[in-house]
Every structure is written in structure tokens, then in C-alpha cells.
């Protein structure tokens, strides 16, 4: 089916005869095969007598060969899956099985994509970026403190290079445009951080998903395509993110998060804002002062500075801010 998707991704009409040649079936059997494609991948395909078939919206499919070549040039390996449970889970499995690292895992679709705090990450076929970079760290060779924030800066730079205007960071792992989420970071570890461990840097970017689609997301969101008005080349976005991640990971190895801290604070949208921090049932109100050199949030709480870190924390703007 990949050859058919390559043909249809432009969003233009293609004749049943042309599609039949690609599928290796008769012209009369094309529609049945395309209906199966709709059911399997959640795509919408229009059929118009005399014109042929087209996707309801064009796609930008990933180019595995181009991605593999670019990764090989910088010492990474790469795999692109049509569909997978989770790119983070696959990267962890492959690292545990002894795969070479750094290892980039990408997918056209995730069946069980996940975000922070156990949330599902909506992952429709061919729309967004589902990106996981697997690293192997030995002997505590560099600090993991603040690593997710360092990755956030790399994602921000990639989005800016891709033409996204007004993008900024929200502690700890969100990237926003005009208060709406456009990307997120999820780090997952296995092994001993002080000895040998595997770290997966998971990044999700809303690339071409558009509002109005039947997509259930429990927070305000936007996408690069909505912001720019044009279809995003997802392969180019992968290569751009690769470059920025390689740069910032090298900086983090050399200096830790301290080398990125000032840059992160400049891009933090809620710097100096009044916020409510949720820590389980506890609600803490304060004003954002910034982050410390480990990436913990610094809050002014009733005139006293306090630091907070942890995966179960949630930060919201206060109504009066």
C-alpha cells in the first residue's frame, strides 16, 4: 500500500487505471482496496466518476532513505515504521536488545502514543512528527538533570527555522504558540542512571493536523500547517530537528543544563507570570522566577523562593495573571 500512498499523497485525482497498476488489481477492484486503506489508516479518500480518486487532504510522507542517509552521516542509525505502538517504546526495546545508539525511531502513525502524566498522544497517520531518539549512557557520563528542558530548546529552534512565529516554551516540556500546544517532549529511562542506562528522547510535533478534524485532544492545540497555511514537509522537519538536537545534546554533555539555562529562560513564555502549580491534590500559587541549574522550577511563593521538580507536576496560569 505504500506505493499507493506515495501516489495519492499530493491530494490530486488519480485514475482508477493508474491506481490499479500500482496495486496489481483490476480497475473495478481499486475502490475496495482503497476502502480497506481508509479503514486501516483512518484516511478519507474521495471517488469522483470520470476523475478518479484523491485524498481529502494531501499528505507529506516520511522518506526513509533520505532520513537514513542523513542520520548515517552524523553517526546515528534510523528506522521508519508505517505504524507502531509507540516510537518511545520501540526505541527502548531496540536499545535493550543491543541496537547501536544513537538510534532514531520514527513512525507514520502511533497506535498507543503517550505523553506526560500517562496521557495519550494523538497520532493520526501521516500528519505529525512521532520522533524518538534512543541514547545509551555509561557511567553517568553526563547529567540527566534538565535534559528534557535542553531538548525543548532544540525543538523550539527547529520550529522557528521551519517558519513558526511566536513559539515559546512552557515548563517543563511543552512548546506553545499563542497559548496552544504545538509540540511536547517526553523522556523515558531504563537501567541505572549512575551506571549503564538507556534514555529515549521522545518528541511529538503537530505538523499537518488541522482543527476541525474529528480528533479528540483535551487541550488547546495548533500545528505548523495551521500557523503557516502550507503543508509541512515532514522529512525536512525531521532533518532540521536532528541538527538542532545534535547541537544541544553536545552542549548538554559538555556543560549540563547550566549551559542552556539562560537561553531556556529567555524563551519561557510564563517567566514572571502568576501561576498555580498542581502537585497531586496540593495547589501552590506563586510567581515564576525561572529555573535552577538542574531544571527545577523556581517560584516566589508568598515572598519565599521555592524549587519544584518531578514528572507529576502541572503548571497553569492564574486567572489574575
Which residues are part of a known binding site for biotin?
86-88, 110, 114-116, 181
Which residues have CB under 8 Å from 139's CB, separation 6+?
194, 195, 196
Q: Grid coordinates 483490476 are at which residue?
A: 26
Are 205 and 96 within 8 A, CB to CB? Answer: no
Instruction: Confirm if 148 and 172 have CB atoms less than 8 A apart.
Output: yes
C-alpha span between 224 and 217 (Å, rounded): 17
Which of 311, 265, 262, 309 is CA-nearest to residue 288?
A: 265
Q: How many other C-beta atoms lie within 10 A of the C-beta of residue 301? A: 14
The answer to whether the beta carbons of residues 101 and 133 sit under 8 Å apart is: no
Answer yes or no: are the C-beta atoms of 227 and 211 closer than 8 Å. Answer: no
List all residues 6 or more positions away from 154 whose beta carbon is below 8 Å from its beta carbon.
241, 244, 245, 247, 248, 249
Point out the residues that are catalytic.
Answer: 116, 181, 316
Best CA proximity match to 17, nearest among 50, 61, 55, 44: 50
Residue 145 grid coordinates: 538533570
Residues 309, 112: Cα–Cα separation, whole Å: 26
Nearest to 210 by CA among 236, 231, 234, 179: 231
- Binding site, by residue number, is 86-88, 110, 114-116, 181
The number of CA neighbours under 13 Å toward the Cβ of 59 is: 26
- And the C-alpha cell for 97? 536488545
Locate cell 505504500: which residue?
2
Residue position matching grid coordinates 527547529: 158
Amino acid at each position: 500500500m505504500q506505493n499507493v500512498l506515495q501516489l495519492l499523497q499530493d491530494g490530486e485525482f488519480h485514475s482508477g487505471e493508474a491506481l490499479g497498476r500500482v496495486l496489481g488489481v483490476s480497475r473495478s477492484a481499486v475502490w475496495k482496496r482503497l476502502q480497506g486503506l481508509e479503514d486501516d489508516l483512518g484516511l478519507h479518500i474521495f471517488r469522483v466518476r470520470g476523475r478518479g480518486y484523491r485524498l481529502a487532504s494531501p499528505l507529506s510522507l516520511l522518506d526513509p532513505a533520505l532520513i537514513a542517509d542523513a542520520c548515517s552521516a552524523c553517526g546515528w542509525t534510523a528506522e521508519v515504521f508505517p505504524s507502531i505502538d509507540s516510537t518511545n517504546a520501540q526505541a527502548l526495546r531496540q536499545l535493550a536488545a543491543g541496537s547501536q545508539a544513537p538510534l532514531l525511531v520514527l513512525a507514520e502513525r502511533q497506535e498507543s502514543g503517550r505523553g506526560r502524566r500517562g496521557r495519550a498522544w494523538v497520532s493520526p497517520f501521516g500528519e505529525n512528527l512521532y520522533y524518538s531518539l534512543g541514547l545509551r549512557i555509561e557511567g553517568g557520563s553526563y547529567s540527566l538533570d534538565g535534559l528534557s528542558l535542553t531538548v525543548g530548546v532544540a525543538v523550539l529552534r527547529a520550529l522557528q527555522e521551519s517558519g513558526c512565529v511566536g513559539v515559546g516554551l512552557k515548563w517543563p516540556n511543552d512548546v506553545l504558540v499563542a497559548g496552544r500546544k504545538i509540540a511536547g517532549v517526553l523522556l523515558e529511562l531504563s537501567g541505572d542512571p549512575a551506571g549503564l542506562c538507556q534514555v529515549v528522547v521522545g518528541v511529538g510535533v503537530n505538523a499537518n493536523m488541522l482543527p476541525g478534524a474529528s480528533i479528540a485532544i483535551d487541550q488547546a492545540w495548533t500545528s505548523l500547517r495551521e500557523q503557516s497555511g502550507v503543508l509541512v514537509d515532514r522529512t525536512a522537519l525531521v532533518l532540521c530537528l536532528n541538527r538542532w538536537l545534535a547541537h544541544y545534546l553536545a552542549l548538554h554533555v559538555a556543560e549540563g543544563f547550566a549551559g542552556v539555562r539562560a537561553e531556556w529562560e529567555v524563551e519561557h513564555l510564563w517567566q514572571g507570570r502568576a501561576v498555580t502549580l498542581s502537585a497531586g491534590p496540593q495547589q501552590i500559587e506563586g510567581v515564576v522566577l525561572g529555573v535552577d541549574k538542574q531544571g527545577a522550577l523556581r517560584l516566589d511563593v508568598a515572598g519565599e523562593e521555592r524549587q519544584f521538580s518531578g514528572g507529576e507536576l502541572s503548571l497553569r496560569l492564574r486567572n489574575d495573571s
